[in-house]
């Protein structure tokens, strides 16, 4: 992985794209691409931890993904059940704390129970913070945060200084994971060049890295390329 003097981002976010095209290229069902994508997750979490990345967020299922065929959505839900229930011990062994971001209330109850269990059992792990974005949409997160603020204001639960105006700092408190730092680097695989409703607020000043590799083929080597590209950039946040 990168040399010690290479600047390593604190939070790397990945739009894991290309599972279906990976499978199609091999004349396999799309669900097989998702299964191989899970292997890529395991490789990448390990590589990110070894690189010294503190937070790794993965875009696993968007609010728009419900539009896919019922068979594919069902296959993905089954994969989430399998991964979360069978990989907790492996994540703990890697020192990975797992958390979830998104509108989790819309997921099946048995999956929500598994998510809560995984979060509880890995809460003390400190090697890397792994955030899985499930039923996540950046626009939805912002709207939910604003509506939650308005509800608190109508209930008079805010202080006098907080009540009149919604500030960036106050809005952040209503996000799914308010303590998660903004992503320094957002990676998208498979050659697509768009954000697809991912970390829209938090990613305002993130560095972007796009690669042609389908997600099932992603791993340590591709992550290293992204980190080297990041290290060569100068982040000015709008300044001179």
Q: Give the C-alpha separation, 96 to 91, whole Å.
A: 5
Q: Give the C-alpha separation, 133 to 179, whole Å.
A: 15
Q: At what angle do helices 220-231 and 30-51 cross, to 10 degrees?
A: 50
DSSP H or E stretch at residue 93: helix 88-93
Which residues lie closer than 8 Å to 1 by C-beta, 6 or more apart?
47, 50, 51, 220, 223, 224, 227
Check if 160 is active-site: no
The dihedral through the CA atoms of 238, 228, 226, 46 has a sign that is negative
Check if 156 is active-site: no
Spot the catalytic one: 17, 129, 184, 217.
17
Torsion of CA 102, 193, 65, 72, to 10 degrees: -130
Nearest CA to 212 among 12, 2, 18? Answer: 18
Spot the catalytic one: 5, 50, 65, 89.
65
Residues labelled as active-site residues: 17, 65
């Amino acid at each position: 992985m990168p040399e010690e003097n290479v600047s390593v981002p604190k939070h790397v976010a990945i739009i894991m794209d290309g599972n279906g095209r990976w499978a199609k290229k091999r004349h396999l069902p799309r669900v097989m691409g998702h299964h191989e994508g899970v292997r890529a997750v395991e490789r990448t979490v390990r590589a990110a931890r070894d690189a010294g990345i503190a937070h790794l967020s993965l875009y696993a299922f968007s609010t728009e993904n419900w539009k896919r065929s019922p068979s594919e959505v069902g296959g993905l839900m089954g994969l989430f059940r399998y991964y979360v229930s069978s990989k907790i011990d492996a994540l703990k062994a890697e020192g990975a704390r797992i958390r979830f971001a998104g509108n989790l209330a819309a997921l099946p109850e048995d999956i929500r129970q598994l998510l809560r269990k995984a979060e509880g059992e890995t809460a003390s792990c400190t090697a890397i913070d792994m955030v899985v974005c499930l039923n996540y949409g950046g626009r939805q997160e912002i709207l939910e945060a604003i509506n939650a603020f308005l509800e608190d204001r109508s209930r008079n639960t805010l202080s006098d200084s907080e009540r009149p105006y919604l500030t960036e700092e106050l809005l952040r408190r209503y996000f799914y994971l308010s303590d998660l730092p903004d992503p320094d680097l957002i990676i998208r695989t498979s050659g697509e060049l768009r954000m697809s409703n991912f970390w829209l607020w938090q990613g305002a000043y993130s560095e972007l890295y796009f690669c042609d590799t389908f997600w099932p083929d992603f791993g340590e080597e591709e992550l290293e390329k992204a980190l080297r590209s990041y290290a060569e950039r100068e982040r000015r946040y709008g300044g001179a």
